[in-house]
Amino acid sequence: MSKGLDHETLNENVKKVQYAVRGELYLRASELQKEGKKIIFTNVGNPHALGQKPLTFPRQVVALCQAPFLLDDPNVGLVFPADAIARAKHYLSLTSGGLGAYSDSRGLPGVRKEVAEFIERRDGYPSDPELIFLTDGASKGVMQILNSIIRGSSDGILVPVPQYPLYSAAISLYGGSLVPYYLEETANWGLDIKNLRQSVVQARSNGITCLSEANLKELLQFCYQENVVLMADEVYQQNIYQDERPFLSARKVLLDMGLPMSKEVQLVSFHTVSKGYWGECGQRGGYFEMTNIPPQTVDEIYKVASISLSPNVPGQIFLGLMVNPPKPGDISYLKFVQEGKSVLESLRRRAHIMTNGFNSCRNVVCNFTEGAMYSFPQIRLPPRAIEAAKKLGKVPDVFYCLKLLEATGISTVPGSGFGQKEGVFHLRTTILPAEEDMPAIMESFKKFNDEFMEQYEDHTGYSRM
């Protein structure tokens, strides 16, 4: 007789979950690291793990909130600037009991108000703090919303492919059906609304890279006509590396479209302290904002959030600081702006180094990283490489990525973890390794790749097109 936690008796949905970002490649990389090999983890967007320094001001504020007794220490002014001290007092005044008390399950009211003000400044439309919930990172928010929506396998969730695997994993966990639609690699991963419509038609009979404003409008129109909830994962709103298309929130575009759509389309928007020039992944701070969601539903979501009592409070303070950073004239303003700018400018340079590096490799074609923190080069695997992979029972891009890992220590994620069209292969890497290490990494990649291609190409020229 099997027991409750034996593998065969587990919840089937748990077993079905696939999560490539921390899947076979990551596990093998962790093993190699234990054995003493130097690994470059580019599997997950984790800037501080690859050397990005934290911004000084927010860390000063949170350190003071953690140690409020310092505020009474006559020497505090020797190690902390006056504006950080003032800001720490401000956040402590928003809590009852400091960082050590559970907050309301939706987060501290004072911080939610700061988030609403940020959204209003950003989009030009008022935002209601009662419709903003703070979360332990955006991931937890996405999971809460999906858990509320999904009733069973006949509920389909449209997901752009390539996707962030949080979506496929959470949809499996909650027993829904993922309905993929493909983004256009040839249009720098833009949205082709025909692909989206086709996916819906198919799903009925038996989420997005750098979208243009026109793309977003089409998408919202589609949601309106097809009565689909839009979950807008906007965690990369500060990570834009071109100047032609600045960030536009789905909420702003929706509200700009006016009635009836602006009052009809149900929208949940997500943000985080993990990305941008902050990169504070380990702090787990995030929020979601609900637009056109009925109050009874908001109550249900509140109730379920209450089960785990409170998002972590230091993460809430980081979020407050992110939406309400130092202002011109503040003691810490110049330093803060300079630190942030230097992170973003370096990311932009790294996006170029990486794209160019990939495009200089045999059988590799790569779009420029217009935003976020990732590169997704297409790897044109020769038929003999595909055969070799199949013989080992491996998906071809997993085979390629494992060989890359063993040869170079570069830990990437196979494109198959994100979804790709049949017969087309990619890998996903972050643009986060330190800028000074980047040339060596790209060289090491090129050496591996070109040798790999040399080995597996049949020299009739077939896959050199």
Ligand X SMILES: Cc1ncc(COP(=O)(O)O)c(C=O)c1O
| Window 100-139: residues binding ligand X (CB under 6 A) | 137-139
Asked if the peptide bond before residue 260 counts as cis, ω within 30 degrees of 0, the response is yes
How far apart CA 215 and CA 253 sit, in angstroms, is 10
Where is 177: in which H helix or E strand?
A: strand 177-182
Q: How far is the CB of 206 from ligand X (least distance, A)?
A: 29
**Which residues within the stretch 258-287 sit at the binding site for a second copy (CB under 8 A)?**
266, 268, 274, 279-284
| Residue 96 touches which member of a second copy, ligand X, none, C-beta under 5-8 Å by kind | a second copy
Q: How far is the CB of 334 from a second copy (least distance, A)?
A: 17
Diameter over CA atoms, the chain: 78
| Residue 194 touches which member of ligand X, a second copy, none, C-beta under 5-8 Å by kind | none
274 binds ligand X, rule: CB under 6 A: yes
**Which residues within the stretch 398-457 sit at the binding site for a second copy (CB under 8 A)?**
none
Number of residues this chain uses to bind ligand X (CB under 6 A):
13
Exactly one of 160, 180, 311, 414 binds a second copy (CB under 8 A); which one?
311
In sequence order, the β-bridge partners of residue 365 are: 378
Q: Taking a C-beta distance cutoff of 8 angstroms, is the pair 91, 317 a contact?
A: yes
Amino acid at 427: L
Find, among 114, 120, 64, 92, the residue nearest to 322 by Cα. Answer: 114
In sequence order, the β-bridge partners of residue 285 are: none
**Which residues within the stretch 348-377 sit at the binding site for a second copy (CB under 8 A)?**
none
Q: Label residues 4-17 b or e (16+ Cβ within 10 Å = b).
A: eeeeeeeeeeeeee
Token duo for residue 359: 């495009």
137 binds a second copy, rule: CB under 8 A: yes
Token duo for residue 50: 């690859």
**Which residues within the stretch 5-44 sit at the binding site for a second copy (CB under 8 A)?**
5-7, 9-12, 14-15, 17, 19, 21-22, 30, 44
Long-range contacts of the stretch 147-156 (C-beta < 8 A, 24+): 147/174, 147/304, 148/297, 148/300, 148/301, 148/304, 149/176, 149/229, 150/174, 150/175, 150/176, 152/176, 153/177, 156/203
Q: How far is the CB of 272 from ligand X (least distance, A)?
A: 3
- DSSP letters along 287-347, please? EEEEES--HHHHHHHHHHHHHT----HHHHHHHHHHHS---TTSTTHHHHHHHHHHHHHHH
| Residue 247 touches which member of ligand X, a second copy, none, C-beta under 5-8 Å by kind | none
Nearer to ligand X, 21 or 203 (CB): 21
Find, among 367, 384, 362, 382, the residue nearest to 425 by Cα. Answer: 382
| Residue 79 touches which member of a second copy, ligand X, none, C-beta under 5-8 Å by kind | a second copy
**Which residues within the stretch 41-70 sit at the binding site for a second copy (CB under 8 A)?**
44, 46-52, 54, 56, 59-60, 62-64, 66-70
Q: How far is the CB of 188 from ligand X (least distance, A)?
A: 17
Residue with tokens 């967007």: 45
Which residues, at least 6 apart from 243, have a Cβ–Cβ distance to it below 8 Å?
none
Q: How far is the CB of 435 from a second copy (least distance, A)?
A: 16
Token duo for residue 43: 């599997």
Exactly one of 97, 124, 126, 439 binds a second copy (CB under 8 A); which one?
97
Q: How far is the CB of 285 from ligand X (least distance, A)?
A: 8
Q: How far is the CB of 372 from ligand X (least distance, A)?
A: 7
Number of residues this chain uses to bind a second copy (CB under 8 A):
98
**Which residues within the stretch 153-182 sit at the binding site for a second copy (CB under 8 A)?**
166, 169-170, 173-174
Q: How far is the CB of 240 from ligand X (least distance, A)?
A: 14
233 binds ligand X, rule: CB under 6 A: yes
286 binds ligand X, rule: CB under 6 A: yes
Q: Taking a C-beta distance cutoff of 8 angstroms, is the pair 133, 302 a contact?
A: yes
164 binds ligand X, rule: CB under 6 A: yes
Q: How far is the CB of 248 from ligand X (least distance, A)?
A: 17
Residues interacting with ligand X, by CB under 6 A? 45, 137-139, 164, 166, 233, 235, 272, 274, 281, 286, 309
